[in-house]
Amino acid sequence: MKNELVERLSAKIGEDDLISNIREVNQIKVDFDDWLLKSEGSQQVEVLKAKDKGETIDQIDFSIIKEQFYLLYGNYKENRKKQIELKNQLEEANLKQKNALITELKTLVENEENIGSAFKTFNAIQETWKKIGDMPRTKRDIVQKEYSRLREMFFYNINMYREIKDHDYKRNAQLKQDVIHKLQSLRNGESQIREVEKSLRSLQDDWEDIGPVNNDEWEILKTSYWEAVRSIYDKINKHYDEYRQIQNDNLNKKREIIASLKIKVQEEVDSRNIKQWNSLTNEVKKAQEDWKKIGYASKKDNDKIWKEFKSLCNDFFDERKVFFKSKDEIDIKARDVKKELISQAIAFNNAEDIQSSTKGLIDLQKKWKTTKNAGRYERSLWEEFRKVCDQFFNKKEEVSNELKKQLEDNLNAKNAAIASFKKKELSDDYSEQNLKEDIESFVAIGPVRKDKSNHVLSDFIKVLKDKVKGIKIKPEQVELTIFKLKIDSYALMENRKEIFFKEKSNLRKRISTLENDILQSETNLGYFSVSKGAEKLFDQVNKNNEATKEEILMLKRQLKMIPNE
Protein backbone atom coordinates (compact mmCIF):
# COMPACT_ATOMS: atom_id res chain seq x y z
CA MET A 1 0.00 0.00 0.00
CA LYS A 2 1.64 3.26 -1.16
CA ASN A 3 1.60 6.29 1.08
CA GLU A 4 2.57 9.82 0.09
CA LEU A 5 4.15 10.61 3.48
CA VAL A 6 6.30 7.44 3.33
CA GLU A 7 7.47 8.45 -0.13
CA ARG A 8 8.23 11.99 1.05
CA LEU A 9 10.23 10.64 4.00
CA SER A 10 12.07 8.26 1.67
CA ALA A 11 12.97 11.22 -0.59
CA LYS A 12 14.28 13.21 2.41
CA ILE A 13 16.50 10.29 3.46
CA GLY A 14 18.01 10.35 -0.03
CA GLU A 15 19.13 14.02 0.32
CA ASP A 16 22.78 14.77 0.89
CA ASP A 17 22.21 17.19 3.79
CA LEU A 18 20.32 15.39 6.55
CA ILE A 19 21.25 17.95 9.21
CA SER A 20 19.35 21.01 7.93
CA ASN A 21 16.18 19.20 6.82
CA ILE A 22 15.23 18.05 10.37
CA ARG A 23 12.23 20.41 10.62
CA GLU A 24 10.77 19.13 7.35
CA VAL A 25 11.24 15.51 8.45
CA ASN A 26 9.67 16.20 11.86
CA GLN A 27 6.71 17.85 10.11
CA ILE A 28 6.35 14.75 7.90
CA LYS A 29 6.29 12.61 11.06
CA VAL A 30 3.60 14.80 12.66
CA ASP A 31 1.57 14.67 9.42
CA PHE A 32 1.97 10.88 9.31
CA ASP A 33 0.84 10.45 12.94
CA ASP A 34 -2.20 12.65 12.24
CA TRP A 35 -2.97 10.74 9.05
CA LEU A 36 -2.61 7.38 10.84
CA LEU A 37 -4.91 8.45 13.66
CA LYS A 38 -7.50 9.82 11.23
CA SER A 39 -7.39 6.67 9.07
CA GLU A 40 -7.63 4.32 12.06
CA GLY A 41 -10.48 6.41 13.54
CA SER A 42 -12.35 6.52 10.23
CA GLN A 43 -11.96 2.78 9.82
CA GLN A 44 -13.18 2.23 13.40
CA VAL A 45 -16.29 4.31 12.65
CA GLU A 46 -16.94 2.41 9.41
CA VAL A 47 -16.58 -0.91 11.25
CA LEU A 48 -19.09 0.25 13.88
CA LYS A 49 -21.48 1.41 11.16
CA ALA A 50 -21.15 -1.88 9.32
CA LYS A 51 -21.66 -3.81 12.55
CA ASP A 52 -24.85 -1.87 13.23
CA LYS A 53 -26.09 -2.91 9.80
CA GLY A 54 -25.08 -6.52 10.32
CA GLU A 55 -22.43 -6.22 7.66
CA THR A 56 -18.68 -6.62 7.53
CA ILE A 57 -16.07 -4.61 5.69
CA ASP A 58 -12.47 -5.25 4.70
CA GLN A 59 -10.11 -3.57 7.12
CA ILE A 60 -6.70 -2.10 6.32
CA ASP A 61 -3.77 -3.28 8.42
CA PHE A 62 -2.17 0.06 9.23
CA SER A 63 0.59 -1.65 11.25
CA ILE A 64 2.44 -2.52 8.01
CA ILE A 65 2.68 1.04 6.73
CA LYS A 66 3.39 2.28 10.28
CA GLU A 67 6.29 -0.18 10.57
CA GLN A 68 7.52 0.90 7.12
CA PHE A 69 7.38 4.60 8.05
CA TYR A 70 9.11 4.25 11.42
CA LEU A 71 11.79 1.98 9.91
CA LEU A 72 12.58 4.80 7.45
CA TYR A 73 12.40 7.35 10.26
CA GLY A 74 14.80 5.29 12.36
CA ASN A 75 17.22 5.03 9.42
CA TYR A 76 16.98 8.80 8.93
CA LYS A 77 17.80 9.53 12.59
CA GLU A 78 20.73 7.11 12.54
CA ASN A 79 22.13 8.55 9.28
CA ARG A 80 21.63 12.12 10.53
CA LYS A 81 23.42 11.26 13.76
CA LYS A 82 26.35 9.93 11.71
CA GLN A 83 26.39 13.12 9.60
CA ILE A 84 26.45 15.26 12.76
CA GLU A 85 29.26 13.16 14.22
CA LEU A 86 31.19 13.43 10.94
CA LYS A 87 30.52 17.20 10.81
CA ASN A 88 31.77 17.59 14.38
CA GLN A 89 34.90 15.56 13.55
CA LEU A 90 35.54 17.70 10.46
CA GLU A 91 35.00 20.91 12.42
CA GLU A 92 37.45 19.74 15.11
CA ALA A 93 39.98 18.88 12.41
CA ASN A 94 39.41 22.29 10.80
CA LEU A 95 39.92 23.92 14.21
CA LYS A 96 43.28 22.19 14.61
CA GLN A 97 44.33 23.30 11.10
CA LYS A 98 43.30 26.91 11.74
CA ASN A 99 45.06 26.98 15.13
CA ALA A 100 48.18 25.71 13.35
CA LEU A 101 47.81 28.50 10.76
CA ILE A 102 47.37 31.06 13.57
CA THR A 103 50.59 29.79 15.18
CA GLU A 104 52.36 30.03 11.81
CA LEU A 105 50.97 33.54 11.20
CA LYS A 106 52.03 34.65 14.71
CA THR A 107 55.56 33.41 14.03
CA LEU A 108 55.54 35.24 10.70
CA VAL A 109 54.41 38.52 12.28
CA GLU A 110 56.95 38.35 15.09
CA ASN A 111 60.02 36.98 13.30
CA GLU A 112 59.92 37.44 9.52
CA GLU A 113 62.19 40.23 8.35
CA ASN A 114 62.16 39.51 4.59
CA ILE A 115 59.05 41.43 3.44
CA GLY A 116 58.81 39.66 0.06
CA SER A 117 59.04 36.25 1.65
CA ALA A 118 56.59 37.36 4.36
CA PHE A 119 53.92 38.24 1.79
CA LYS A 120 54.42 34.92 0.04
CA THR A 121 54.03 33.03 3.30
CA PHE A 122 51.08 35.20 4.34
CA ASN A 123 49.22 34.62 1.07
CA ALA A 124 49.76 30.88 1.41
CA ILE A 125 48.40 30.97 4.96
CA GLN A 126 45.37 33.02 3.85
CA GLU A 127 44.55 30.73 0.88
CA THR A 128 44.81 27.66 3.11
CA TRP A 129 42.62 29.37 5.72
CA LYS A 130 39.83 30.03 3.20
CA LYS A 131 39.84 26.43 2.00
CA ILE A 132 39.34 25.05 5.48
CA GLY A 133 35.65 24.43 6.31
CA ASP A 134 33.53 25.28 9.36
CA MET A 135 34.80 25.05 12.92
CA PRO A 136 32.80 24.31 16.10
CA ARG A 137 30.50 27.30 16.74
CA THR A 138 31.75 27.74 20.33
CA LYS A 139 35.34 28.29 19.12
CA ARG A 140 34.69 30.07 15.83
CA ASP A 141 34.54 33.69 17.10
CA ILE A 142 37.66 33.34 19.30
CA VAL A 143 39.74 31.73 16.54
CA GLN A 144 38.46 34.12 13.86
CA LYS A 145 39.16 37.18 16.02
CA GLU A 146 42.70 36.00 16.79
CA TYR A 147 43.31 35.31 13.12
CA SER A 148 41.95 38.75 12.19
CA ARG A 149 44.09 40.39 14.89
CA LEU A 150 47.29 38.71 13.69
CA ARG A 151 46.43 39.52 10.08
CA GLU A 152 45.94 43.18 10.96
CA MET A 153 49.27 43.14 12.84
CA PHE A 154 50.92 41.66 9.77
CA PHE A 155 49.65 44.43 7.52
CA TYR A 156 50.52 47.00 10.15
CA ASN A 157 54.14 45.81 10.15
CA ILE A 158 54.45 45.97 6.38
CA ASN A 159 55.04 49.72 6.21
CA MET A 160 57.24 49.42 3.12
CA TYR A 161 54.32 48.12 1.13
CA ARG A 162 51.93 50.96 1.93
CA GLU A 163 50.65 51.19 -1.63
CA ILE A 164 49.72 47.51 -1.55
CA LYS A 165 48.14 48.03 1.85
CA ASP A 166 46.12 51.01 0.61
CA HIS A 167 44.95 49.00 -2.40
CA ASP A 168 43.88 46.13 -0.15
CA TYR A 169 42.14 48.58 2.19
CA LYS A 170 40.10 49.97 -0.68
CA ARG A 171 39.32 46.49 -1.99
CA ASN A 172 38.39 45.27 1.49
CA ALA A 173 36.19 48.34 2.00
CA GLN A 174 34.38 47.57 -1.26
CA LEU A 175 33.99 43.91 -0.30
CA LYS A 176 32.65 44.88 3.11
CA GLN A 177 30.30 47.39 1.43
CA ASP A 178 29.08 44.55 -0.82
CA VAL A 179 28.42 42.40 2.26
CA ILE A 180 26.47 45.28 3.85
CA HIS A 181 24.42 45.69 0.65
CA LYS A 182 23.64 41.95 0.62
CA LEU A 183 22.65 42.13 4.29
CA GLN A 184 20.29 45.02 3.55
CA SER A 185 18.77 43.11 0.62
CA LEU A 186 18.39 40.07 2.85
CA ARG A 187 16.64 42.18 5.48
CA ASN A 188 14.16 43.58 2.94
CA GLY A 189 13.62 40.34 1.04
CA GLU A 190 10.82 37.77 1.29
CA SER A 191 12.90 34.61 1.71
CA GLN A 192 12.00 31.82 4.12
CA ILE A 193 13.32 32.41 7.63
CA ARG A 194 15.52 29.32 7.51
CA GLU A 195 17.15 30.65 4.33
CA VAL A 196 17.55 34.07 5.95
CA GLU A 197 19.35 32.51 8.94
CA LYS A 198 21.61 30.46 6.68
CA SER A 199 22.45 33.46 4.46
CA LEU A 200 23.12 35.65 7.50
CA ARG A 201 25.66 33.19 8.89
CA SER A 202 27.35 32.96 5.50
CA LEU A 203 27.55 36.76 5.09
CA GLN A 204 28.93 37.15 8.62
CA ASP A 205 31.62 34.61 7.75
CA ASP A 206 32.37 36.56 4.57
CA TRP A 207 32.65 39.78 6.58
CA GLU A 208 35.14 38.22 8.98
CA ASP A 209 37.18 36.76 6.11
CA ILE A 210 37.64 40.21 4.51
CA GLY A 211 40.83 41.99 5.57
CA PRO A 212 41.18 45.36 7.32
CA VAL A 213 40.14 48.73 5.87
CA ASN A 214 41.31 52.28 6.33
CA ASN A 215 40.70 53.52 9.85
CA ASP A 216 38.76 56.51 8.51
CA GLU A 217 36.21 54.17 6.85
CA TRP A 218 36.11 51.44 9.48
CA GLU A 219 33.72 53.07 11.96
CA ILE A 220 31.19 53.93 9.22
CA LEU A 221 31.36 50.42 7.71
CA LYS A 222 31.21 48.76 11.10
CA THR A 223 28.15 50.82 12.13
CA SER A 224 26.32 50.04 8.87
CA TYR A 225 27.22 46.37 9.15
CA TRP A 226 25.95 45.93 12.71
CA GLU A 227 22.82 47.96 11.99
CA ALA A 228 21.97 45.59 9.13
CA VAL A 229 22.84 42.47 11.18
CA ARG A 230 20.77 43.58 14.16
CA SER A 231 17.79 44.45 11.95
CA ILE A 232 17.92 40.96 10.41
CA TYR A 233 18.04 39.38 13.87
CA ASP A 234 15.05 41.56 14.80
CA LYS A 235 13.22 40.22 11.73
CA ILE A 236 14.08 36.63 12.68
CA ASN A 237 13.01 37.12 16.30
CA LYS A 238 9.76 38.80 15.20
CA HIS A 239 8.97 35.83 12.96
CA TYR A 240 9.47 33.36 15.77
CA ASP A 241 7.47 35.55 18.19
CA GLU A 242 4.57 35.65 15.72
CA TYR A 243 4.90 31.93 15.11
CA ARG A 244 4.80 31.26 18.87
CA GLN A 245 1.68 33.47 19.12
CA ILE A 246 0.00 31.50 16.32
CA GLN A 247 0.90 28.27 18.10
CA ASN A 248 -0.56 29.66 21.32
CA ASP A 249 -3.78 30.67 19.51
CA ASN A 250 -4.00 27.17 18.03
CA LEU A 251 -3.54 25.69 21.50
CA ASN A 252 -6.40 27.83 22.85
CA LYS A 253 -8.68 26.77 19.99
CA LYS A 254 -7.94 23.12 20.71
CA ARG A 255 -8.61 23.66 24.40
CA GLU A 256 -11.99 25.19 23.50
CA ILE A 257 -12.89 22.14 21.38
CA ILE A 258 -11.98 19.80 24.26
CA ALA A 259 -13.93 21.86 26.81
CA SER A 260 -17.02 21.99 24.58
CA LEU A 261 -16.83 18.31 23.70
CA LYS A 262 -16.39 17.29 27.36
CA ILE A 263 -19.66 19.00 28.25
CA LYS A 264 -21.52 17.30 25.41
CA VAL A 265 -20.24 13.75 26.01
CA GLN A 266 -20.90 13.97 29.77
CA GLU A 267 -24.53 15.13 29.45
CA GLU A 268 -27.24 12.48 29.96
CA VAL A 269 -24.66 9.72 29.59
CA ASP A 270 -26.87 7.22 31.40
CA SER A 271 -30.15 8.05 29.66
CA ARG A 272 -29.24 8.55 26.00
CA ASN A 273 -31.36 6.89 23.34
CA ILE A 274 -30.18 5.76 19.89
CA LYS A 275 -31.06 9.09 18.28
CA GLN A 276 -29.07 11.00 20.89
CA TRP A 277 -26.10 8.64 20.55
CA ASN A 278 -26.09 9.06 16.76
CA SER A 279 -26.45 12.83 17.06
CA LEU A 280 -23.58 12.99 19.55
CA THR A 281 -21.47 10.76 17.32
CA ASN A 282 -21.88 13.37 14.57
CA GLU A 283 -20.83 16.06 17.07
CA VAL A 284 -17.66 14.12 17.94
CA LYS A 285 -16.85 13.60 14.26
CA LYS A 286 -17.37 17.30 13.60
CA ALA A 287 -15.03 18.14 16.51
CA GLN A 288 -12.44 15.83 14.95
CA GLU A 289 -12.82 17.59 11.60
CA ASP A 290 -12.53 21.03 13.24
CA TRP A 291 -9.41 19.82 15.08
CA LYS A 292 -7.75 18.91 11.79
CA LYS A 293 -8.33 22.40 10.42
CA ILE A 294 -6.40 24.01 13.30
CA GLY A 295 -2.64 24.38 12.92
CA TYR A 296 -0.02 23.09 15.32
CA ALA A 297 0.77 24.34 18.78
CA SER A 298 4.28 24.06 20.20
CA LYS A 299 5.53 20.47 20.03
CA LYS A 300 5.42 19.99 23.81
CA ASP A 301 1.86 21.38 24.16
CA ASN A 302 0.63 19.83 20.91
CA ASP A 303 1.58 16.30 21.94
CA LYS A 304 0.00 16.69 25.36
CA ILE A 305 -3.30 18.20 24.19
CA TRP A 306 -3.55 15.71 21.34
CA LYS A 307 -3.34 12.84 23.81
CA GLU A 308 -6.11 14.48 25.87
CA PHE A 309 -8.37 14.92 22.81
CA LYS A 310 -7.67 11.43 21.52
CA SER A 311 -8.44 9.94 24.94
CA LEU A 312 -11.73 11.89 25.11
CA CYS A 313 -12.81 10.60 21.68
CA ASN A 314 -11.72 7.03 22.42
CA ASP A 315 -13.64 7.02 25.72
CA PHE A 316 -16.76 8.21 23.92
CA PHE A 317 -16.55 5.52 21.24
CA ASP A 318 -15.91 2.88 23.90
CA GLU A 319 -19.08 3.97 25.74
CA ARG A 320 -20.97 3.98 22.44
CA LYS A 321 -19.82 0.45 21.75
CA VAL A 322 -21.10 -0.68 25.17
CA PHE A 323 -24.47 0.98 24.55
CA PHE A 324 -25.03 -0.61 21.16
CA LYS A 325 -23.92 -3.96 22.48
CA SER A 326 -26.64 -3.64 25.14
CA LYS A 327 -29.14 -2.62 22.44
CA ASP A 328 -28.19 -5.70 20.43
CA GLU A 329 -29.15 -7.86 23.41
CA ILE A 330 -32.60 -6.21 23.37
CA ASP A 331 -32.85 -6.79 19.61
CA ILE A 332 -32.05 -10.48 20.19
CA LYS A 333 -35.02 -10.75 22.54
CA ALA A 334 -37.26 -9.13 19.93
CA ARG A 335 -35.77 -11.48 17.34
CA ASP A 336 -36.74 -14.50 19.44
CA VAL A 337 -40.32 -13.19 19.78
CA LYS A 338 -40.61 -12.79 16.02
CA LYS A 339 -39.12 -16.22 15.40
CA GLU A 340 -41.95 -17.60 17.52
CA LEU A 341 -44.45 -15.69 15.34
CA ILE A 342 -42.86 -17.26 12.25
CA SER A 343 -43.18 -20.72 13.81
CA GLN A 344 -46.88 -20.04 14.48
CA ALA A 345 -47.32 -18.81 10.91
CA ILE A 346 -45.75 -22.03 9.58
CA ALA A 347 -48.20 -24.01 11.74
CA PHE A 348 -51.15 -22.08 10.23
CA ASN A 349 -49.68 -22.64 6.77
CA ASN A 350 -49.80 -26.42 7.33
CA ALA A 351 -53.28 -26.48 8.92
CA GLU A 352 -56.32 -27.86 7.10
CA ASP A 353 -58.83 -25.29 8.33
CA ILE A 354 -58.13 -22.43 5.86
CA GLN A 355 -60.71 -20.07 7.29
CA SER A 356 -59.50 -20.39 10.84
CA SER A 357 -55.88 -20.26 9.70
CA THR A 358 -56.60 -17.11 7.68
CA LYS A 359 -57.90 -15.32 10.75
CA GLY A 360 -55.00 -16.64 12.82
CA LEU A 361 -52.44 -15.54 10.22
CA ILE A 362 -54.02 -12.10 9.91
CA ASP A 363 -53.85 -11.79 13.69
CA LEU A 364 -50.19 -12.75 13.52
CA GLN A 365 -49.62 -10.05 10.89
CA LYS A 366 -51.24 -7.49 13.19
CA LYS A 367 -49.21 -8.74 16.12
CA TRP A 368 -46.04 -8.56 14.00
CA LYS A 369 -46.64 -4.85 13.40
CA THR A 370 -47.05 -4.15 17.12
CA THR A 371 -44.05 -6.26 18.14
CA LYS A 372 -40.81 -4.37 18.92
CA ASN A 373 -38.46 -3.91 15.98
CA ALA A 374 -35.59 -6.43 16.02
CA GLY A 375 -32.98 -4.00 14.71
CA ARG A 376 -30.45 -5.57 12.37
CA TYR A 377 -32.34 -8.89 12.44
CA GLU A 378 -35.61 -7.29 11.33
CA ARG A 379 -35.16 -7.47 7.58
CA SER A 380 -34.33 -11.18 7.31
CA LEU A 381 -37.07 -12.05 9.81
CA TRP A 382 -39.62 -9.99 7.88
CA GLU A 383 -38.66 -11.65 4.59
CA GLU A 384 -39.04 -15.09 6.19
CA PHE A 385 -42.40 -14.16 7.76
CA ARG A 386 -43.68 -12.61 4.53
CA LYS A 387 -42.62 -15.70 2.56
CA VAL A 388 -44.68 -17.94 4.88
CA CYS A 389 -47.65 -15.59 4.55
CA ASP A 390 -47.30 -15.49 0.75
CA GLN A 391 -47.24 -19.27 0.60
CA PHE A 392 -50.40 -19.38 2.70
CA PHE A 393 -52.31 -16.86 0.64
CA ASN A 394 -51.21 -18.49 -2.61
CA LYS A 395 -52.68 -21.75 -1.31
CA LYS A 396 -55.76 -19.84 -0.19
CA GLU A 397 -56.58 -19.04 -3.81
CA GLU A 398 -58.19 -22.49 -3.92
CA VAL A 399 -60.93 -21.17 -1.66
CA SER A 400 -61.27 -17.84 -3.50
CA ASN A 401 -65.01 -17.58 -2.93
CA GLU A 402 -64.43 -17.23 0.79
CA LEU A 403 -61.60 -14.77 0.13
CA LYS A 404 -63.81 -12.67 -2.13
CA LYS A 405 -66.41 -12.51 0.59
CA GLN A 406 -63.73 -11.46 3.11
CA LEU A 407 -62.46 -8.77 0.71
CA GLU A 408 -66.00 -7.52 0.20
CA ASP A 409 -66.58 -7.45 3.94
CA ASN A 410 -63.31 -5.55 4.40
CA LEU A 411 -64.38 -3.06 1.74
CA ASN A 412 -67.69 -2.48 3.48
CA ALA A 413 -65.92 -2.16 6.83
CA LYS A 414 -63.43 0.36 5.43
CA ASN A 415 -66.20 2.41 3.80
CA ALA A 416 -68.04 2.34 7.11
CA ALA A 417 -64.85 3.41 8.90
CA ILE A 418 -64.40 6.30 6.44
CA ALA A 419 -67.97 7.42 6.96
CA SER A 420 -67.58 7.16 10.74
CA PHE A 421 -64.32 9.10 10.77
CA LYS A 422 -65.83 11.74 8.50
CA LYS A 423 -68.55 12.39 11.09
CA LYS A 424 -66.12 12.27 13.99
CA GLU A 425 -65.44 15.56 15.74
CA LEU A 426 -61.73 15.90 16.62
CA SER A 427 -60.97 17.60 19.92
CA ASP A 428 -58.17 20.11 20.50
CA ASP A 429 -56.07 17.48 22.29
CA TYR A 430 -56.27 15.14 19.31
CA SER A 431 -52.62 14.06 18.98
CA GLU A 432 -50.26 12.41 16.55
CA GLN A 433 -50.69 9.19 18.53
CA ASN A 434 -54.50 9.39 18.10
CA LEU A 435 -53.99 9.85 14.36
CA LYS A 436 -51.72 6.81 14.19
CA GLU A 437 -54.23 4.72 16.12
CA ASP A 438 -57.09 5.68 13.75
CA ILE A 439 -54.92 4.86 10.75
CA GLU A 440 -53.79 1.54 12.23
CA SER A 441 -57.43 0.63 12.93
CA PHE A 442 -58.26 1.36 9.31
CA VAL A 443 -55.32 -0.70 7.97
CA ALA A 444 -56.08 -3.51 10.44
CA ILE A 445 -59.44 -4.10 8.75
CA GLY A 446 -57.49 -5.94 6.09
CA PRO A 447 -57.18 -5.95 2.29
CA VAL A 448 -60.03 -5.23 -0.14
CA ARG A 449 -60.67 -6.07 -3.78
CA LYS A 450 -57.81 -5.00 -6.02
CA ASP A 451 -60.01 -2.80 -8.21
CA LYS A 452 -61.33 -0.95 -5.11
CA SER A 453 -58.09 -0.69 -3.13
CA ASN A 454 -56.76 2.60 -4.50
CA HIS A 455 -60.20 4.19 -4.49
CA VAL A 456 -60.98 3.40 -0.84
CA LEU A 457 -57.48 4.42 0.20
CA SER A 458 -57.79 7.76 -1.60
CA ASP A 459 -61.18 8.39 0.06
CA PHE A 460 -59.71 7.74 3.50
CA ILE A 461 -56.66 9.95 2.90
CA LYS A 462 -58.87 12.79 1.67
CA VAL A 463 -61.00 12.58 4.81
CA LEU A 464 -57.86 12.45 6.99
CA LYS A 465 -56.37 15.57 5.45
CA ASP A 466 -59.62 17.50 5.76
CA LYS A 467 -60.00 16.49 9.42
CA VAL A 468 -56.48 17.37 10.64
CA LYS A 469 -56.27 20.82 9.03
CA GLY A 470 -57.25 22.58 12.22
CA ILE A 471 -55.46 20.18 14.59
CA LYS A 472 -52.14 21.04 16.29
CA ILE A 473 -50.08 18.39 14.52
CA LYS A 474 -47.06 19.30 12.44
CA PRO A 475 -47.95 19.17 8.70
CA GLU A 476 -44.78 17.22 7.88
CA GLN A 477 -45.65 14.59 10.50
CA VAL A 478 -49.16 14.30 9.05
CA GLU A 479 -47.64 13.76 5.61
CA LEU A 480 -45.34 11.02 6.92
CA THR A 481 -48.14 9.34 8.87
CA ILE A 482 -50.45 9.34 5.83
CA PHE A 483 -47.64 8.12 3.62
CA LYS A 484 -47.07 5.22 6.02
CA LEU A 485 -50.80 4.46 5.72
CA LYS A 486 -50.38 4.18 1.95
CA ILE A 487 -47.35 1.92 2.30
CA ASP A 488 -49.06 -0.33 4.88
CA SER A 489 -52.11 -0.56 2.60
CA TYR A 490 -49.99 -1.37 -0.43
CA ALA A 491 -48.26 -4.11 1.58
CA LEU A 492 -51.58 -5.99 1.74
CA MET A 493 -51.93 -6.02 -2.06
CA GLU A 494 -50.86 -8.88 -4.28
CA ASN A 495 -49.06 -6.57 -6.70
CA ARG A 496 -47.22 -4.72 -3.93
CA LYS A 497 -43.80 -5.26 -5.58
CA GLU A 498 -44.83 -3.31 -8.68
CA ILE A 499 -46.50 -0.60 -6.57
CA PHE A 500 -43.45 -0.19 -4.31
CA PHE A 501 -41.14 -0.02 -7.33
CA LYS A 502 -43.30 2.63 -9.00
CA GLU A 503 -43.57 4.64 -5.77
CA LYS A 504 -39.77 4.59 -5.26
CA SER A 505 -39.17 5.60 -8.88
CA ASN A 506 -41.54 8.57 -8.62
CA LEU A 507 -39.93 9.75 -5.36
CA ARG A 508 -36.39 9.52 -6.77
CA LYS A 509 -37.38 11.45 -9.91
CA ARG A 510 -38.97 14.16 -7.78
CA ILE A 511 -35.86 14.41 -5.54
CA SER A 512 -33.59 14.65 -8.60
CA THR A 513 -35.78 17.39 -10.12
CA LEU A 514 -35.78 19.44 -6.91
CA GLU A 515 -31.99 19.08 -6.44
CA ASN A 516 -31.45 20.26 -10.03
CA ASP A 517 -33.77 23.22 -9.35
CA ILE A 518 -31.64 24.25 -6.34
CA LEU A 519 -28.41 23.88 -8.31
CA GLN A 520 -29.82 25.94 -11.18
CA SER A 521 -31.11 28.73 -8.92
CA GLU A 522 -27.77 28.96 -7.08
CA THR A 523 -25.94 29.06 -10.46
CA ASN A 524 -28.27 31.84 -11.67
CA LEU A 525 -27.60 33.87 -8.50
CA GLY A 526 -23.90 33.81 -9.37
CA TYR A 527 -24.59 35.96 -12.44
CA PHE A 528 -26.13 38.80 -10.37
CA SER A 529 -23.91 41.47 -8.83
CA VAL A 530 -24.54 42.42 -5.20
CA SER A 531 -26.81 45.50 -5.05
CA LYS A 532 -29.73 46.83 -3.06
CA GLY A 533 -32.10 45.80 -5.84
CA ALA A 534 -30.74 42.26 -5.96
CA GLU A 535 -30.91 41.61 -2.19
CA LYS A 536 -34.68 40.99 -2.22
CA LEU A 537 -34.27 38.60 -5.13
CA PHE A 538 -31.46 36.77 -3.26
CA ASP A 539 -33.62 36.52 -0.13
CA GLN A 540 -36.60 35.17 -2.06
CA VAL A 541 -34.50 32.62 -3.95
CA ASN A 542 -32.84 31.51 -0.70
CA LYS A 543 -36.25 31.10 0.98
CA ASN A 544 -37.46 29.07 -1.99
CA ASN A 545 -34.33 26.92 -1.85
CA GLU A 546 -34.80 26.28 1.87
CA ALA A 547 -38.39 25.21 1.27
CA THR A 548 -37.24 22.96 -1.56
CA LYS A 549 -34.57 21.42 0.69
CA GLU A 550 -37.24 20.69 3.34
CA GLU A 551 -39.33 18.98 0.68
CA ILE A 552 -36.31 16.92 -0.40
CA LEU A 553 -35.76 15.80 3.21
CA MET A 554 -39.43 14.81 3.46
CA LEU A 555 -39.22 12.83 0.19
CA LYS A 556 -36.08 11.05 1.34
CA ARG A 557 -37.75 10.08 4.64
CA GLN A 558 -40.71 8.72 2.65
CA LEU A 559 -38.30 6.79 0.40
CA LYS A 560 -36.79 5.05 3.44
CA MET A 561 -40.27 3.98 4.59
CA ILE A 562 -40.86 1.88 1.45
CA PRO A 563 -39.90 -1.79 2.05
CA ASN A 564 -37.36 -3.47 -0.23
CA GLU A 565 -39.34 -6.15 -2.01
Q: Is 0.85 surpassed by the pTM of this model? A: no
Give which of 513, 491, 509, 511 is closest to 500, Cα–Cα.
491
User: For residues 161 and 196, is the Cβ–Cβ distance under 8 A?
Assistant: no
Taking the C-alpha atoms of residue 48 and residue 317, their distance in angstroms, rounded to an integer, is 9
What's the pLDDT score for residue 520?
A: 81
For 90-104, letters b (16+ CB in 10 Å) and e give ebeebbebbeebbeb
Q: Is the pLDDT of residue 246 over 80?
A: yes
Q: Is the pLDDT of residue 443 over 80?
A: no
CA angle 349, 403, 359 (to 5 degrees): 50
pLDDT tens-place string over residues 413-439: 878 888 887 777 777 777 777 777 777
The band of 400, judged by pLDDT with boundaries at 50, 70 and 90, is low
What's the pLDDT score for residue 176?
A: 83
User: What does the pLDDT average to over 289-315?
Assistant: 83
- Range of lowest pLDDT (4-8, 185-189, 448-452): 448-452
What's the pLDDT score for residue 464?
A: 74
Contacts of 552 (CB under 8 A, 6+ apart): 511, 514, 515
Categorise residue 86: left if φ over 0, alpha if ψ from -120 to 50, beta otherwise. alpha
Taking the C-alpha atoms of residue 443 and residue 417, their distance in angstroms, rounded to an integer, is 10
What's the pLDDT score for residue 290?
A: 86
Contacts of 287 (CB under 8 A, 6+ apart): 257, 260, 261, 313
pLDDT tens-place string over residues 349-366: 777 666 677 777 788 788
Q: Is the pLDDT of residue 171 over 80?
A: yes
Give which of 317, 300, 299, 301 is closest to 254, Cα–Cα.
301
What's the pLDDT score for residue 115?
A: 58
- Of 439 and 260, the one with more pLDDT: 260
The band of 90, judged by pLDDT with boundaries at 50, 70 and 90, is confident
Handedness of CA 203, 205, 208, 209 (dihedral sign): negative
- Range of lowest pLDDT (114-128, 152-166, 430-444): 152-166
| H or E element that contains 314 | helix 299-350
The band of 557, judged by pLDDT with boundaries at 50, 70 and 90, is confident
User: For residues 309 and 291, is the Cβ–Cβ distance under 8 A?
Assistant: yes
User: What does the pLDDT average to over 497-507?
Assistant: 82
CA 22 to chain CA centroid, Å, is 27
- Of 449 and 375, the one with more pLDDT: 449
pLDDT tens-place string over residues 55-85: 888 888 888 888 888 888 898 888 888 888 8
Q: Is the pLDDT of residue 532 over 60?
A: no
What's the pLDDT score for residue 213?
A: 82
Q: Is the pLDDT of residue 269 over 70?
A: no
What's the pLDDT score for residue 397?
A: 62
The band of 326, judged by pLDDT with boundaries at 50, 70 and 90, is low
User: What does the pLDDT average to over 5-10?
Assistant: 83
What's the pLDDT score for residue 410?
A: 84
What's the pLDDT score for residue 161?
A: 57
